[in-house]
């Protein structure tokens, strides 16, 4: 013990020396702090003298307290003819860059943006510029300012002929300062890697989908996709089609049982529809003649490829015809051509915006659409050195190669492949009258990838039963389907298109997840 | 070794010799035995009295020797996809302004490189055959050169460009 104490004394002394030093340091720190606080206080005092303090700030949460008469102008409408007008607008802060007495903001609204300028002057105080510079990226702001013509074009903005001289600036919704991804990184073309700058990979994009969807590219993709649906409806309604809604919870798988999701349905189980196939056929038997439907379709295929999703939007057509199923093929092909034309004529800006990030050749098609028979295609492939049987299904690489061969020979990105081998098609496919090995079925291709699969269906209950039995399908499970053809069924054909694939291939993109807003695949259920 | 024997037997046919047998170690009628693919190949060329295939000028002979060495040191040694791509890229550049490997005339180098590249080119997709368009042009020309192809399968080259974005 004593020994310990004896040793302890000098130690204590040493410690007290250290402590003294510490104290001194702390005192210094405190002094500095006080100094800083004094400075801050002085600044605050200056704030009080801020003559522009009513012209900026953070707005209280909008809870619908008041109805203002204020007109908010859309950024896309800010052009030269609005020059020298005073306007209000609501936009996001895309970037802000302060430089002395000035602060440049890029204000973004959807795929449009404009340069805003907060500069110390008659309306703007120093503090206001500081405030503007400190607004975090992606915050939503209400801004009032003068539209001014610029001498030199603002190359980085969509509204390049004007800028906005801001006089009022209020934050409506502040974004957290750290973003999970930078929008500028997300729109950088992947090929432009000479500068070695960051790009955002697919998974990061999808994990933070709502931010990724704000990019100009995404905005354009989904506006164009909406256009596909709109043009599909427009065209078919003009052709006197009726839009129908079909159930998605069904009792039997429509095209083979393997790739179907099972859901528990009270005391039994049910399936998620792989296509509205059976129901649109029943509509035909119920005298609706020409029907179409737009809705979700589910595929439980465990394939993680660039073009498979487990849930996608199906655009389905079914139509009764008089004597030959080519009547239907022509109608469907024409519908697609009308969509391509509509996109080309109405969505040029969107196409170009996407092209900036993902360059691709414009989509080419012929009118009337090129129709090849399966055997012709096999012959073309063999000529290119591919070895395959007459009745073998097309593999994906062969499909793509065929697309290139067709493009080279006929200069079209869109064509129909007719008369598929019966063995590779579902049981309800009508056999070819001249050669029972083939069938009255067809696929349609865009840029060498399948987008539509269709056929004449068997409308005779006996033949249908025979085919189902041949393929080992349980007749009991599809009884209601077969029964619907017993009381007079017109000959009919149809097909189903995947919306995401059409958008992807029209724009020449490389992954279907880019054209699905919230994609679902075997590995992704969120967001 | 078996592959080498097959290749030399095929070369004999190309050169119009009746089978000597016993390759790749060749017991010649006058002098010591010969070893090695290109050594024997050069010997066979001389036996067939087709010395022009080894190059008619000193420069050409040197070029032929260089490519024969390339065949056994580079092509026969490459295993990974990256190696193959490197070789194809290199050859594609070299062949840009040439009909044959040693300039304007057909030599043993063309035969030996055709043989060595056959499995690599056969495995290429049409897209890659187009990417290495000069290799494809040369290869297609050599495989149609009288007597060269022998037991090898003919490879199809599409005459027109299919992939405008490849270049």
Could you read off the pLDDT of A477-516 as tens digits, one per residue?
Answer: 788 889 999 999 999 999 999 999 999 999 999 999 999 9
Q: Which of A243, A288, A249, A286 is nearest to A266 (CA)?
A: A249
Q: Are A425 and A383 in contact (CB under 8 A)?
A: no
Lowest mean pLDDT among A114-128, A186-200, A203-217, A332-346: A186-200
Mean pLDDT value of segment A350-369 = 92
Cβ contacts below 8 Å, chain A against chain B, sum to 22
- The catalytic position among A148, A188, A233, A308 is A308
Q: Are A166 and A105 in contact (CB under 8 A)?
A: yes
pLDDT at position A365 is 94
pLDDT at position B22 is 45
Could you read off the pLDDT of A252-287 as tens digits, one per residue?
Answer: 766 555 688 999 999 998 999 988 888 999 999 999
Mean pLDDT value of segment A69-79 = 90
| Cβ separation A405–B155 shorter than 8 A | no
Strand-pair category, A112-119 with A140-149 = unpaired
Is a pLDDT exceeding 50 seen at residue A222?
yes
pLDDT at position A184 is 87
Mean pLDDT value of segment A237-259 = 83
pLDDT at position A458 is 95
Confidence of residue A100 (pLDDT cuts 50, 70, 90): confident
Task: Give the integer Cα–Cα distance in Å for A319 and A325.
Answer: 9
Lowest mean pLDDT among A2-11, A134-143, A460-469, B32-41: A2-11
pLDDT at position A486 is 94
Strand-pair category, A414-418 with A441-446 = antiparallel
Task: Give the integer Cα–Cα distance in Å for A330 and A260.
Answer: 31
| Cβ separation B162–A408 shorter than 8 A | yes
Task: Give the integer Cα–Cα distance in Å for A441 and A457.
Answer: 9
A307 belongs to the catalytic site? yes
Is a pLDDT exceeding 80 seen at residue A42?
no
In sequence order, what are the residues at sequence separation of 6 or more whose Cβ sits closer than 8 angstroms to the Cβ of residue A129? A98, A101, A102, A103, A118, A119, A120
Average pLDDT, chain A: 89
Q: Is A387 on the interface with B (CB under 8 A)?
A: no
Q: Are A482 and A469 in contact (CB under 8 A)?
A: no
Could you read off the pLDDT of B97-150 as tens digits, one per residue?
Answer: 999 999 889 999 999 999 999 999 999 988 899 999 999 999 999 999 988 888
Confidence of residue A193 (pLDDT cuts 50, 70, 90): low
Confidence of residue B6 (pLDDT cuts 50, 70, 90): confident
Q: Is A437 on the interface with B (CB under 8 A)?
A: no
How many helices (H) and strands (E) are present in chain B, helices listed first? 7, 0
Could you read off the pLDDT of B13-61 as tens digits, one per residue?
Answer: 888 876 554 445 666 666 666 778 888 889 889 888 888 999 889 999 9
Q: Which of A356, A111, A347 is nearest to A215 (CA)?
A: A111
Is a pLDDT exceeding 60 seen at residue A153?
yes
| Cβ separation B162–A404 shorter than 8 A | yes
pLDDT at position A255 is 57
Closest-CA distance, B159 to chain A, in angstroms, reads 10
Q: Is A385 on the interface with B (CB under 8 A)?
A: yes
Mean pLDDT value of segment A129-143 = 94
Residues of A in contact with B166 (CB under 8 A): none
Residues of A in contact with B158 (CB under 8 A): 384, 405, 408
pLDDT at position B19 is 56
Pick the residue with more confidence: B88 or B13?
B88
Angle at the Cα of B53 from the Cα atoms of B52 and B54, rounded to 5 degrees = 90
Nearest to B163 among A384, A385, A404 (CB): A404
pLDDT at position B58 is 92
Residues of A in contact with B165 (CB under 8 A): 361
A501 belongs to the catalytic site? yes
**Three-class SS of residue A275?**
coil
ipTM over 0.95: no
Nearest to A384 among B126, B163, B165 (CB): B126
Burial annotation B67-87 (CB, 10 A radius, 16+ → b, else e): bbebbbebbeebeeeeebeeb
Helix axes A216-238, A499-506, angle to 10 degrees: 120
């Amino acid at each position: 013990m004593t020994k310990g104490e004896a040793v302890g004394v000098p130690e204590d002394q040493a410690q007290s020396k250290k402590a003294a030093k510490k104290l001194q340091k702390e005192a210094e720190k405190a002094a500095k702090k006080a100094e800083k606080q004094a400075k801050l206080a002085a600044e605050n005092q200056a704030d009080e003298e801020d003559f522009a303090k009513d012209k900026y700030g953070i707005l209280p949460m909008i809870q619908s307290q008041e109805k203002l008469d204020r007109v908010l102008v859309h950024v896309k409408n800010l052009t030269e003819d609005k020059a020298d007008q005073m306007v209000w607008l609501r936009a996001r802060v895309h970037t802000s860059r302060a430089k002395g007495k000035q602060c440049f903001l890029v204000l973004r609204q959807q795929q449009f943006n404009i340069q805003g300028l907060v500069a110390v002057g008659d309306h703007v105080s120093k503090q206001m510029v500081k405030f503007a510079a400190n607004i975090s990226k992606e915050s939503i702001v209400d801004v009032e300012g003068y539209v001014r013509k610029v001498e030199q074009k603002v190359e980085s903005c969509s509204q390049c002929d004007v800028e906005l001289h801001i006089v009022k600036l209020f934050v409506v919704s502040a974004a957290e300062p750290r973003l999970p991804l930078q929008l500028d990184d997300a729109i950088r073309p992947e090929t432009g890697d000479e500068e070695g700058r960051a790009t955002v990979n697919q998974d990061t994009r999808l994990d933070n989908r709502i931010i990724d969807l704000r990019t100009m590219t995404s905005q354009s993709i989904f506006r164009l996709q909406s256009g596909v649906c709109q043009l599909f409806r427009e065209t078919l309604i003009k052709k006197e089609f009726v839009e129908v809604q079909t159930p998605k919870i069904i009792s039997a798988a429509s095209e083979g049982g393997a790739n179907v999701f099972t859901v528990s349905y009270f005391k039994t189980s049910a399936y998620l529809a792989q296509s509205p196939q059976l129901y649109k056929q029943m509509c035909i038997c119920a005298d609706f003649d020409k029907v179409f439907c737009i809705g979700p379709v589910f595929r439980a295929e465990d394939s993680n490829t660039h073009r498979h999703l487990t849930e996608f939007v199906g655009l389905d057509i079914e139509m009764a015809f008089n004597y030959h199923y080519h009547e239907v093929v022509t109608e469907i092909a024409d519908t697609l051509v009308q969509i391509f034309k509509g996109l080309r004529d109405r969505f040029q800006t969107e196409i170009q915006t996407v092209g900036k990030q993902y360059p691709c050749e414009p989509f080419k098609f012929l009118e009337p659409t090129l129709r090849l028979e399966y055997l012709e295609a096999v012959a073309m492939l063999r000529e290119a050195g591919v070895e395959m049987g007459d009745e073998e299904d097309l593999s994906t690489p062969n499909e793509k190669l065929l697309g290139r061969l067709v493009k080279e020979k006929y200069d079209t990105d869109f064509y129909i492949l007719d008369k598929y081998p019966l063995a590779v098609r579902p049981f309800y496919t009508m056999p070819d009258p001249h050669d029972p090995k083939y069938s009255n079925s067809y696929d349609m291709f865009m840029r060498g990838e399948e987008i539509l699969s269709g056929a004449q269906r068997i409308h005779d209950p006996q033949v249908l039963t025979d085919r189902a039995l041949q393929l080992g399908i349980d007749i009991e499970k599809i009884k209601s389907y077969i029964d619907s053809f017993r009381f007079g069924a017109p000959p009919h054909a149809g097909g189903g298109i995947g919306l995401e694939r059409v958008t992807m291939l029209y724009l020449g993109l490389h992954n279907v997840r880019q054209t699905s807003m919230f994609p679902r695949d075997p590995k992704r259920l969120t967001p | 070794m078996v592959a080498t024997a097959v290749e030399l037997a095929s070369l004999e046919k190309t050169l119009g010799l009746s089978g000597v047998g016993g390759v790749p170690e060749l017991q010649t009628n006058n002098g010591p035995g010969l070893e090695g693919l290109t050594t024997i190949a050069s010997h066979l060329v001389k036996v067939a009295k087709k010395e022009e295939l080894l190059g008619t000028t000193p420069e050409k002979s040197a070029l032929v020797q260089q490519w024969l060495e390339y065949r056994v040191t580079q092509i026969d040694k490459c295993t990974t996809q990256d190696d193959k791509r490197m070789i194809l890229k290199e050859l594609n550049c070299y062949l840009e302004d040439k009909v044959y490997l040693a300039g304007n005339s057909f030599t043993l180098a063309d035969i030996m490189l055709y043989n060595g590249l056959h499995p690599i080119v056969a495995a290429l997709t049409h897209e890659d055959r187009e990417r290495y368009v000069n290799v494809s042009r040369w290869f297609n020309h050599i495989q149609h050169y009288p007597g060269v192809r022998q037991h090898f399968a003919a490879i199809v080259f599409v005459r027109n460009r299919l992939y405008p974005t490849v270049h």
